[in-house]
C-alpha cells in the first residue's frame, strides 16, 4: 500500500468529543469516524485491526470446538415475549415495527434467537454438546454512549452459546471458553484480569468478566494482592470482622440541623465522623417501600440489597414516597419510628450512639441505638466493598482498580431453555431442558482497550499481532533518486515475503512522515536516509520500545520476518 493512496485521514488536532487516549487516537489516526452518538464507521486502518482481532477470536473459538453461524440482527418480538425480556429489557432495546405493525428489535444479544433456532432440531443427548458463535453487530440504546468504541450503541460482538446435557458439560464449556478468552486477549497483547461478577438481569449463577486494567475503565474492581481473588465491586464480598463499639448508650437527643441533609453537611454541622452517622435510604421494592441502612461512610450496593429482598424491581423512592414514609422531606430519614421493613448492613449492628435523621424537617437524632430506639427486620451484607476491606478468601487487605470489561462468560443454566421450551431426550428417554452458557467479547471495545494499554504521547503502539500494517518504509526524501529506489526495493521485497507494508511515497518533510508513522503506530519503521544508504544500510525503529539500529538492506526482509514471527 502506498501512503499517498491509503485512506487514513489523520487529524493534527484532538477532537473535542474524545476524552480518553483510545478514542483520541482512533479519530486522529483515521481509524474511525462518528456518524451519530455511539455509532461509527470503520475506515480502512480501523477495519483491518478489527478483522485481525476477529481472526484471533475465530481461531480460538474453533479450537474449542465452536462452530460459526450468523443470525439475523432484526428479531421478532414474539421470542422476547416468551422469556419476558420484551418488557424487562427497557429503553436500551432498539425497537421497530414493520409495515404490518409487527414488532421487532435490533438484537442487543441473541439468547432468545439462538435457543429458538435450535429448539426444534436438537432433540437428543447424542447431539450434545453444541457450541455455536457469531461475530456481528449488536444494538443497545445506551443511556451514555461514550469513549468511542468502548460504549457504542452499535458495536461488534462475538457471542458464543453452549448447550449441554448436564452441569458437568456446562462446566467444561465454561472453562474452555474462559481459557480461550485468556489466550485471545494475550494474543491481542492485552493484560487482562478475570474477575467474579454479578450475573445481573441475564440470569444464571457463575460468571467472570475479563477486565483490562486501565484508569479510564468504567468498572471498579477489587482484588487481593496475595491470592487470586478479584471481583467487580458490584459483586465483591469481604471478610467481615465485627468491631463492636463498647461505649455506653447515651440518652436520645433531638437536634436542630437546619439545611443539613447530606452526610457531608451533617458531619460538618455536628462535628461528628461519617462512620458515626446512619445513612437511611428509602427504596421501593416490587412496589413496596423499604428502608436500607448503611454506615455514613459506606456506599449501599443495590445489587446486594435486591438479592436480600428477593425482589424483581428495586428503585430509590422519589420525594413523594419519602415524605409519605418518613413524614419529612428528602434528607431527614432515620430508622426511629419507621413503619416499613428495615434492612441494615451488618456493619450497622456494631454502631453505638449514632446520628440519624429524625423523620422531621431540619432535625436529626443523636445517640440513636439499635435495639433500644428501633429494630431491624433483616441484617445482611448490603454495602459496596472498598479498598482496604479484607479478602474473603485469605483475609489480606484488598486493593482497587478501574477496568474495561472486554469479555464475559456466563453460566445461564436453564433460564432460556425452560422459557423457550428447548428440551432434549436424555439416555433414559426423559425430556430435559438444555443447559446453557453464553460468552461475549466486545470486538471494538477490545481494540480500544489495546490502544489504552499501548500508546504514548505520539500515538498508538500496536502489538504486532493486531497492527493494521507491520511495517512502514520511509525514505527521508522521495525526491532523492537513490533513496526512492532503495525504498521501493525494500517495499517490494517485503510485500513478496507476505509482510503487510506501507511505503510512504509522499513528498512531505521527514518530520511529517515520522509523526504520521508514530500516530498510526506501525510496529516497525524502516527509514532510508542518505548516510545509512551510503553504507548499504537502512535504519529500523521499533515503535514499542523506541529502539533504533541499522541493518544492511539485503538482510532487512529476513530480519523483519523474524520480528513478526517472534
User: Would you tell me which residues interact with ligand ATP (CB under 6 A)?
Assistant: 109, 140, 142, 151-152, 155, 157, 405-408, 440, 442, 444-445
Asked whether 475 and 483 are in contact (CB, 8 A), the reply is yes
User: What is the rounded CA–CA span in Å between residue 234 and residue 188?
Assistant: 27
The residue sitting closest to ligand ATP, measured at its beta carbon, is: 442
Distances in Å between the alpha carbon of 40 and those of 44, 135, 140, 141, 457? 13, 17, 14, 14, 24
Measured from the CB of residue 422, what is the shortest distance to ligand ATP in angstroms?
20
Question: Please, what is the minimum distance in Å from the beta carbon of residue 300 to ligand ATP?
Answer: 19
CB of 519 to ligand ATP, least distance (A): 24
Least distance in angstroms from the C-beta of 88 to ligand ATP: 14
Separation CA 293–CA 376 (nearest Å): 9
3-state secondary structure of 549: strand
Nearer to ligand ATP, 157 or 266 (CB): 157
Question: Between the CA of residue 300 and those of 295, 359, 375, what are the distances in Å?
Answer: 9, 20, 19
Answer yes or no: are the C-beta atoms of 38 and 153 closer than 8 Å. yes
Q: How far is the CB of 63 from ligand ATP (least distance, A)?
A: 20
Backbone dihedral angles phi then psi of residue 149, each to the nearest 5 degrees: -75, -5
| Cα dihedral 519, 520, 525, 530 sign | negative
Q: Which is nearer to ligand ATP, 111 or 389 (CB)?
A: 111
* Residue number, 143 or 248, with CB nearest to ligand ATP: 143
- Bridge-based pairing of strands 435-442 and 74-76 is unpaired
Cell of 397: 487487605
Shortest distance in whole angstroms from residue 109 CB to ligand ATP: 6
3/222 with CB nearer ligand ATP:
222
All 3 cell numbers of residue 44?
Answer: 480502512
In the complex, least distance from residue 407 CB atom to ligand ATP, rounded to whole angstroms:
5
Burial of 312 (0-12, 13-18, 19+ CB in 10 A): exposed
Distance of CA 495 to the CA centre of its chain: 38
Q: Which is nearer to ligand ATP, 186 or 227 (CB)?
A: 186
Taking the complex as a whole, how short is the minimal distance between the CB of residue 217 and ligand ATP, in angstroms? 10
| Distance in Å, CB of 249 to ligand ATP, minimum | 44
Closer of 169 and 407 to ligand ATP (Cβ): 407
* Residues 6 or more apart whose Cβ sits within 8 Å of residue 69: 132, 133, 134
CA atoms within 13 Å, Cβ hemisphere of 284:
11
Q: How many helices (H) and strands (E) does the chain have?
A: 15, 31
Report the residue number, 197 or 358, with the smaller CB distance to ligand ATP. Answer: 197
Task: Specify the residue, 233 or 540, whose C-beta has the smaller distance to ligand ATP.
Answer: 233
- Judged by CB, which is closer to ligand ATP: 406, or 450? 406
The whole-angstrom separation of Cα 29 and Cα 310 is: 49
Amino acid at each position: 500500500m502506498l501512503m499517498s493512496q491509503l485512506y487514513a485521514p489523520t487529524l493534527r488536532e484532538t477532537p473535542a468529543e474524545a476524552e480518553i487516549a483510545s478514542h483520541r487516537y482512533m479519530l486522529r489516526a483515521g481509524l474511525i469516524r462518528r456518524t451519530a452518538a455511539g455509532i461509527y464507521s470503520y475506515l480502512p486502518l480501523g477495519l483491518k485491526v478489527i478483522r485481525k482481532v476477529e481472526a484471533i477470536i475465530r481461531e480460538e473459538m474453533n479450537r474449542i470446538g465452536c462452530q460459526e453461524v450468523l443470525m439475523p440482527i432484526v428479531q421478532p418480538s414474539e421470542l422476547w415475549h416468551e422469556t419476558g425480556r420484551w418488557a424487562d429489557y427497557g429503553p436500551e432495546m432498539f425497537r421497530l415495527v414493520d409495515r404490518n405493525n409487527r414488532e421487532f428489535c435490533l438484537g442487543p444479544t441473541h439468547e432468545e434467537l439462538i435457543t429458538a433456532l435450535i429448539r426444534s432440531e436438537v432433540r437428543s443427548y447424542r447431539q450434545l454438546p453444541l457450541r455455536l458463535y457469531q461475530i456481528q453487530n449488536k444494538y443497545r440504546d445506551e443511556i451514555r454512549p461514550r469513549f468511542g468504541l468502548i460504549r457504542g450503541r452499535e458495536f461488534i460482538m462475538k457471542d458464543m452459546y453452549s448447550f449441554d446435557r448436564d452441569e458437568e458439560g456446562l462446566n467444561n464449556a465454561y472453562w474452555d471458553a474462559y481459557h480461550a478468552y485468556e489466550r485471545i486477549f494475550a494474543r491481542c497483547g492485552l493484560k487482562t484480569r478475570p474477575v467474579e461478577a454479578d450475573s445481573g438481569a441475564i440470569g444464571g449463577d457463575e460468571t467472570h468478566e475479563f477486565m483490562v486494567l486501565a484508569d479510564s475503565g468504567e468498572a471498579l474492581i477489587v482484588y487481593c494482592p496475595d491470592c487470586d481473588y478479584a471481583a467487580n465491586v458490584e459483586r465483591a464480598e469481604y471478610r467481615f470482622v465485627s468491631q463492636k463499639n463498647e461505649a455506653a448508650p447515651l440518652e436520645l437527643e433531638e437536634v436542630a440541623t437546619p439545611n443539613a441533609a447530606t452526610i457531608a453537611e451533617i458531619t460538618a454541622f455536628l462535628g461528628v465522623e461519617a462512620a458515626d452517622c446512619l445513612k437511611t435510604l428509602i427504596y421501593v421494592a416490587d412496589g413496596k417501600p423499604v428502608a436500607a441502612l448503611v454506615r455514613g461512610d459506606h456506599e449501599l450496593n443495590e445489587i446486594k440489597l435486591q438479592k436480600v429482598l428477593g425482589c424483581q424491581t428495586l428503585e430509590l423512592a422519589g420525594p413523594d414516597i419519602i415524605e409519605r414514609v418518613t413524614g419529612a422531606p428528602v434528607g431527614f430519614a432515620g430508622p426511629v419510628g419507621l413503619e416499613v421493613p428495615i434492612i441494615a448492613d451488618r456493619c450497622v449492628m456494631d454502631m453505638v450512639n449514632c446520628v440519624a435523621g429524625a423523620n422531621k424537617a431540619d432535625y436529626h437524632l443523636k445517640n440513636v441505638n439499635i435495639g433500644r430506639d428501633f429494630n431491624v427486620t433483616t441484617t445482611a451484607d448490603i454495602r459496596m466493598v472498598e479498598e482496604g476491606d479484607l479478602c474473603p478468601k485469605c483475609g489480606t487487605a484488598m486493593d482497587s482498580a478501574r477496568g474495561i470489561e472486554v469479555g464475559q462468560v456466563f453460566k445461564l443454566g436453564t433460564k432460556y431453555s425452560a422459557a423457550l421450551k428447548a428440551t432434549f431426550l436424555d439416555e433414559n428417554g426423559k425430556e430435559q431442558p438444555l443447559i446453557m452458557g453464553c460468552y461475549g467479547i466486545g470486538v471494538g471495545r477490545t481494540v480500544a482497550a489495546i490502544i489504552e494499554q499501548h500508546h504514548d504521547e505520539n500515538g498508538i503502539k500496536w502489538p504486532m499481532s493486531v497492527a493494521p500494517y507491520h511495517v512502514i518504509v520511509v525514505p527521508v526524501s522521495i525526491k532523492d533518486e537513490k533513496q526512492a529506489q532503495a525504498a521501493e526495493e525494500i517495499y517490494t521485497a517485503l510485500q513478496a515475503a507476505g509482510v503487510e507494508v506501507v511505503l510512504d511515497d509522499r513528498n512531505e518533510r521527514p518530520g511529517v512522515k515520522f509523526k504520521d508513522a508514530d500516530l498510526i503506530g506501525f510496529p516497525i519503521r524502516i527509514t532510508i536516509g542518505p548516510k545509512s544508504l551510503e553504507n548499504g544500510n537502512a535504519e529500523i525503529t521499533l515503535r514499542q520500545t523506541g529502539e533504533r539500529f541499522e541493518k544492511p538492506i539485503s538482510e532487512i526482509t529476513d530480519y523483519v520476518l523474524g520480528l513478526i514471527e517472534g
